[in-house]
Amino acid sequence: MEDISKINKQRLPKHIAIIMDGNGRWAKQKGKLRVFGHKNGVKAVRDVVEGSAEIGVKVLTLYAFSTENWNRPKAEVDVLMNLLVSSLKKELKLLQDNNIRLQAIGNLEKLPKKAKRELEEVIQITKNNTHLVLNLAISYSAKEEIVNAFKKISKKIVNNELSIEEIDENIINNHLYTRNLPDVDLVIRTSGEKRISNFLLWQIAYAELYFTDLFWPDFRKTHLIQAILDYQQRERRFGKTSDQLKNNE
Ligand code: FPP
């Protein structure tokens, strides 16, 4: 078990984003249906949310459902949507007790009415919480997010609210779903796959990437600590040389 006290509080990743992968394979390994994996995935979500709050991470983004996931069999999509609703209902107390604010990014218009309503309700109830932002990526596609940003910016240009010369990284940031969030410092992907899968393409420009072979339902706070300790061993140069960093240039 990794110990939280080993973490250097001065060098915490502010924003951790997790691709929760391997629920289906975890279940298959046990001779069970895929939905059994998703149900157990919720336990990992709870542990990692609690752990992030305890460690002092400011933003935790979880990739819960991609736009591509709408193409899965309807029965599996229904289970995932129902799990989302039941978890939101069940975990509201956990969010409130830990001063956690819920947010969501993605094309939420595509969600079933009940899921959208429940999500909006919990977002509203927790909106003044300040310790941790739990940001759920649901019905999310990074490319779609960027397309939407292009459209919004173009509209402002056509309406003379913005000039082409004014477009910079800040303007683009401000038109993404993540407009109020800092860039991602650490991306974690479970299940041994080494892909980004259309997740936060703009926001991970300088993120450290951490891959583990564990399937998501087996991932716990101790593994989150392991990932953070690994992150803290790395030198983030942002394009500079090691010497420049040492000299604070
Ligand atoms: C990836 O495993 C996981 C998902 C597509 C869904 C993640 C959802 C949860 C953990 C539960 C609900 C979430 C919340 C926030 C309450 P996979 O199905 O792609 O697994 P496989 O790659 O082994 O098939």
CATH for 24: 3.40.1180.10
Cα 140 to Cα 23, 36, 145, 227: the distances in Å are: 18, 23, 8, 24
Q: Is 20 in the pocket of ligand 1 (CB under 6 A)?
A: yes
How many structural domains does the chain have?
1
Buried-exposed string 89-110: b where 16+ CB fall within 10 A, e elsewhere: eebbeebeebebbbbbbbbbee
pLDDT at 163: 98
pLDDT value of residue 242: 86
- Residue 42 CA to ligand 1 centre (angstroms): 9
Give the list of residues 6+ apart from residue 95 with CB closer than 8 angstroms, or none. 101, 102, 122, 126, 129, 134
Ligand 1 neighbourhood includes 21 CB (under 6 angstroms): yes
Look at residue 177 and tell me if it is in a domain.
Answer: no
Measured by CA distance, the residue closest to atom 5 of ligand 1 is 65
Q: Whose CA is nearest to atom 6 of ligand 1?
A: 64
Q: Is 176 within a domain?
A: no
List the domain range (segments joined by +) for residue 82. Answer: 10-140+183-239
Residue 17 lies in a domain: yes
Quick one: tokens of 183? 């860039």
Given the residues 47, 69, 148, 218, the one annotated as active site: 69
Count Cα neighbours of 19 within 13 Å in the Cβ-side half-sphere.
27
- 64 alpha carbon – ligand 1 mean position (Å): 6
Q: Is 93 among the domain residues?
A: yes
Is the residue at 41 inside a domain? yes
Measured distance CA(142)–CA(197) in Å, rounded: 9
Ligand 1 touching residue 66 (CB < 6 A): no
Quick one: pLDDT at residue 2? 80
Q: Is residue 24 part of a domain?
A: yes
Spans of the chain below 50 pLDDT = none
Task: Work out the burial of residue 218: count CB atoms within 10 Å of its CB; fewer than 13 is exposed, 13-18 middle, 19 or more buried.
Answer: middle
Model pTM above 0.85: yes
Distance 38 CA to ligand 1 centre (A): 5
Q: Is 7 in the pocket of ligand 1 (CB under 6 A)?
A: no
Asked if residue 62 belongs to a domain, the reply is yes
